[in-house]
Structure 1
């Protein structure tokens, strides 16, 4: 929220009181408390009538500093609140007459009493700081409030009312020359957020606007730190925009709480953030295969979906999941969780055939809304399971289903009721759910069962919604066997994967938007991501379909889905079938590698699909790259985003090997060349091992038996490690390769499996028989 009018003045109607003196500092549990005054106090008379701030600096997690700024502590906070994990860490605290110091791990905060400033360090490297005109309480006067009234009247009932309070708390950080900022959730705007105003407010805005389905009040800096605002309210950021050398963050109300994470690199920072807000859950291995859907408004029945599935099998395109979109239920009756018997006369038998005869998992579309024509509407209304208006009646609108109500997930009984219908679908044979919507949540004149603030619930609603559905799957199928296909999210939503990117269009601009959105979401603590391959809106050309198929299969999760037209490849051209088959099988072969990366994501918090800056922050060129990414630790991918088939991408230092063409590229420079439809730059990092499995049709298979471990450009004196996990996420094998001159020494854990070890760009391949000694020397 912008309060400044240039550098010296404030916007008309705002009074800004900045913390100007650390009048008093006292040690408290796990930290210290600063009483900050808006001016330097020279005499007792100045102690009257000032807008003081009480600022608590504490730590209960290593390398994480918690800052709580309070103006009036007597205000009511009805929540909701993010679910955070207290690690019980104890920092070192020193308070003197001149300064206060808090040390947590290798991260240090110094607050100066003499000149009111705060500075964060990691191992003596300065991260960021603030001081004069940084921390403040802001009042909105009656003139400004009155001027906003008409705007409020014009807002829709799920829009955020303009300036609902008259008090705001703002914090501001200094930036460094050449510093870049990333994150804030799934953002389709420019990947580096410098120069942008970012609002943390979920909205159904497609992929071509500044709105977001997934808004996360967390950002990272290229300097190696992150900041998370612990507020479910509408947090506003000015990223080098209001003041071009500062990052500002503002929340309405009387308090602001945020966390600063230090780390040796951005992976460490993401680990710290997900230690606090929750690690990405591990999706089941089957979910990494190819998903196919009915599309949205197309005509379909059991015969149609059977023809799609058989068509994929006839063309030898491995399929893992079939998704039934909205019209598996009758129109006007969403959601009633009942199959439309006119289209699907015997759902249990159909689902059984898909499981047993086709080898498929199944997914059905749901949302948290109940239309008035649904059989569940009267039941939900009678029992108080819906969000209510302030007069006690059910909140209803016609914006999706006529007369629809919205399930109130703050009511435990409503959660049980909703979950009960989902459990019946699981018992019938449904394996997972696409949890659509969750962004269009009203904020005006509504009441929640638990008394939550409707404005703060707007973003947080999706957490409760997805948690309820995810828990059904986890309870029914077991740990690490649950996954969703979710659209909306907030902080902590990474615990309920997988998330896809919403409504994109079938063109190259939209494909680039999706790449940015995926990278932005994944640098915000989310581990896995997907998108509608070939676009949701419109029908892509065969050219775009083939290029998007390559990008889609080099995403953690891969789904073909559209709106008014089907996405089966033979409706585009026969070559589309060949291209989709090629990349689907390549992803299947990469599953030993990809599954190990997914487990690392679950354990550490670093995403599978990650921006180049996460791994290469020391390379200035990588700081702004948003048209390529790392696919796990060891593969660089650069989607082709033009109809000329031109790949344009940057390669960091070292010798990288294209795993499709076998070409070796010297790093430290840009490349530009034309690719066939069966190519996408997919480069193996030097000093790495990539495992290629013995994939046939099922994405869940033995990831060790028959696998080829390919060693890429291992340098003298360097080692590479490649772990293998079974589909239950148990580590069953590990290969370590170390180069000594012209010899590569390979050591591995004992196993009864047979496999191969190959050295890329040579003819050196060693076949390992079962029970063979756990050590091999390869002469180069």
Structure 2
């Protein structure tokens, strides 16, 4: 190991500290030495001392830098800034820095520990207790930004993040959005926040060019910054920390054929008769699927009136080729049949201001609602027994778990943490078949469980389709590997999708790991007007073709499932994961890789042509069989409604299997 080197110069003085893994304490007084540079063989970290700031440099180029006034803290309602460095000491590969603030007697303690491909950073206050600690980065210093997961605004999903604005003031393990405290950049740096407390995250808020990461609570702000050669390597560093799945909860059949959920088809008209009419129309049109899920829970007060014979419904759906599924969640509205039982037995999360009362909040439908407390063993048993009764007595084959497991407005069970709730929820859900609907869960718990993950509802428009694609990329590249869009065609109580939106969405989903369907191409009732919206025969044929394409591709997809169980790499991923040297790949928003061999470039907007970027390699065009060498942009590529552009990387593993599936020319209609 090299010895610690100390170089002191006046004026533009710098203190250069090599980064051996072992060493003795070495004092360095910032007032006399100026900027501090920590060096490893792979990168340098420069600490500015006249105003505390950090710059990460690799190969002479800045790859991540904090913003001016990067470190701030809040006490009460007032924000304060961190100022100049007043002292620093070195012990082995750890640097400790003290900095002044704009509050007399209050200082900041910063500790940085270097490793070969990352550094850990931890900072806190001395002389006062903060309510929030905020660190801001200059977005431009690192190129483009990705990660985070789903935007809290479900209608918009910027990709890259810096191309739009993202403001998530309720970023937490209790979030309904599928998120994780992990961000990464085109410069191959990454940031992981080590906290289970709520955060306030803002990416380019108001177009300010900043990434602002604020941790609430009285704990230090702890994070890891990764420094690698490619974004995919940063992603893999993250996966080593959160874990990869050992198995897939989703079966081959559930990958191969769609799951049909009744929500966007029926909304508030969920009845046994309507479910059967819908399922019969699907089966009659040759629209295959492995299950039909009712978007309603047995706890609804009038469930028995609307579904008088669930076992008979299950039997009839079985004759049509579908298993029966049910919606379930921990949400307990006041109108629920067993709400009083839950309250009387203390099964709901408690009001933080009065623990004798349940914590109630307004749900999406305007109803006052509580949340079953899974950290309460009796409540968990009560809820689990109900689910088992449905599977044992009513013919229910599986569940769509559509719920948060905790709510930050409520008080946790004694000694339970937010992370405990996520853990309890994932363990409970893992006992039941989710039928490919998977689980929506936040933070760092489900990545290692192997659940399918559906992204949140989107508008029934082309903009909704594009946001759904970006959301899939955002979620899959924070470690949720088996991903699908929620509701082909969109939902959110919007008017039904047009023929073009529905067909293009189905085509796009056919080139994703899973297909999750609702709106029937045989027709749907407009929830906003009550009128029936019919689609023509071509719509049915296009949708059926998309299902057939996905089913033929299922053996290749299943191979990718087995591969990702070994590697932790996402199945659906942005182009730059596989082609990091192709600069154009970092801003492609409407294409993705499905495993190493398939480049999907479906049409995601109006019209009949599109531009297609093909990265470095040798590609076979599925539509016409031609071989194209990249990198190249195919301008005005023909993509009429019956064509779903896709290309196969001829040098990639699985290329032959993928091409045979996609280029199939047999009669599908």
Residues 10-159 of structure 1: pairs in structure 2 closer than 5 A: 13-18=78-83, 20=85, 23-26=88-91, 33-38=94-99, 49=105, 51-55=107-111, 57=113, 63=117, 65-71=119-125
Residues 540-619 of structure 1: pairs in structure 2 closer than 5 A: 540-561=497-518, 565=524, 571-619=534-582
Match of 2:97, SS state, is: strand
Matched with 2:474 is 520
Q: Deviations over 1:731-767 (max 9, x none)?
A: xxxxxxxxxxxxxxxxxxxxxxxxxx99999xxxxxx
- Give the distance between the partners of 2:661 and 2:542, measured in 1 at CA: 26
Match of 2:308, SS state, is: coil
Task: State whether structure 2 residue 295 is matched by structure 1 residue 311.
Answer: no
Task: State whether structure 2 residue 286 is matched by structure 1 residue 286.
Answer: no
Match of 1:575, SS state, is: helix
Task: State whether structure 2 residue 314 is matched by structure 1 residue 351.
Answer: yes
Match for residue 406 of structure 1 among 345, 365, 371: 371
Matched with 1:147 is none
- The change in CA–CA distance for 1:38 and 1:322 in structure 2 (over 3 A counts) is same
Match of 2:191, SS state, is: strand
Match for residue 362 of structure 1 among 315, 319, 324: 324
Match of 1:654, SS state, is: strand
Matched with 2:601 is 638
Task: State whether structure 2 residue 295 is matched by structure 1 residue 325.
Answer: yes
- Give the distance between the partners of 2:262 and 2:661, measured in 1 at CA: 42
- Give the distance between the partners of 2:499 and 2:204, measured in 1 at CA: 41
- Give the distance between the partners of 2:479 and 2:385, measured in 1 at CA: 31
> Does the aligned pair in 1 maintain the 2:401–2:429 contact within 8 Å?
no
- Give the distance between the partners of 1:528 and 1:324, measured in 2 at CA: 22
Shift of 1:596: 1.1
Matched with 1:673 is 637
Task: State whether structure 2 residue 613 is matched by structure 1 residue 650.
Answer: yes
Matched with 2:358 is 394
Matched with 2:36 is none
Matched with 1:380 is 342
Query: What is the root-mean-square deviation in Å for CA atoms of aligned residues?
Result: 3.9
Q: Deviations over 1:450-489 (max 9, x none)?
A: 2557xxx4xx69735741442322xxx6xxx875433452
> Does the aligned pair in 2 maintain the 1:507–1:544 contact within 8 Å?
yes
> Does the aligned pair in 2 maintain the 1:33–1:54 contact within 8 Å?
no
> Does the aligned pair in 1 maintain the 2:648–2:658 contact within 8 Å?
no
> Does the aligned pair in 1 maintain the 2:261–2:517 contact within 8 Å?
yes
> Does the aligned pair in 1 maintain the 2:165–2:207 contact within 8 Å?
no
Matched with 1:685 is 649
Shift of 1:300: 4.3
- Give the distance between the partners of 2:132 and 2:82, measured in 1 at CA: 10
Shift of 1:603: 2.8
Match of 2:625, SS state, is: coil
Query: If the length of structure 1 is used for normalisation, what is the TM-score?
Result: 0.65
Task: State whether structure 2 residue 484 is matched by structure 1 residue 530.
Answer: yes
Shift of 1:241: 7.0
- Give the distance between the partners of 1:272 and 1:7, measured in 2 at CA: 28
- Give the distance between the partners of 1:264 and 1:639, measured in 2 at CA: 30
> Does the aligned pair in 2 maintain the 1:26–1:33 contact within 8 Å?
yes
Match of 1:667, SS state, is: strand
Residues 486-497 of structure 1: pairs in structure 2 closer than 5 A: 486-494=439-447, 495=449, 497=451
Structure 2 unmatched runs, 5+ = 1-51, 54-66, 527-531, 665-669
- The change in CA–CA distance for 1:294 and 1:254 in structure 2 (over 3 A counts) is closer
Match of 1:348, SS state, is: helix
Matched with 1:743 is none
Match for residue 436 of structure 1 among 397, 402, 407: 402
- The change in CA–CA distance for 1:251 and 1:330 in structure 2 (over 3 A counts) is closer
- Give the distance between the partners of 2:191 and 2:313, measured in 1 at CA: 49
Matched with 2:667 is none
Match of 1:430, SS state, is: coil
Match of 1:38, SS state, is: strand
> Does the aligned pair in 1 maintain the 2:158–2:470 contact within 8 Å?
yes
> Does the aligned pair in 2 maintain the 1:613–1:622 contact within 8 Å?
yes
- The change in CA–CA distance for 1:410 and 1:520 in structure 2 (over 3 A counts) is same
> Does the aligned pair in 1 maintain the 2:262–2:293 contact within 8 Å?
yes
> Does the aligned pair in 1 maintain the 2:299–2:336 contact within 8 Å?
no
- Give the distance between the partners of 2:259 and 2:437, measured in 1 at CA: 13
> Does the aligned pair in 2 maintain the 1:628–1:637 contact within 8 Å?
yes
Shift of 1:376: 2.5
Q: Deviations over 1:396-416 (max 9, x none)?
A: 245347442211223233222
- The change in CA–CA distance for 1:511 and 1:492 in structure 2 (over 3 A counts) is same
Matched with 1:427 is 392
Matched with 1:472 is 431
- The change in CA–CA distance for 1:51 and 1:343 in structure 2 (over 3 A counts) is same
Shift of 1:191: 0.7
What is the aligned length? 566
- Give the distance between the partners of 2:133 and 2:221, measured in 1 at CA: 6
Match of 2:177, SS state, is: coil
Query: If the length of structure 2 is used for normalisation, what is the TM-score?
Result: 0.75
Shift of 1:319: 1.5
- The change in CA–CA distance for 1:182 and 1:489 in structure 2 (over 3 A counts) is same
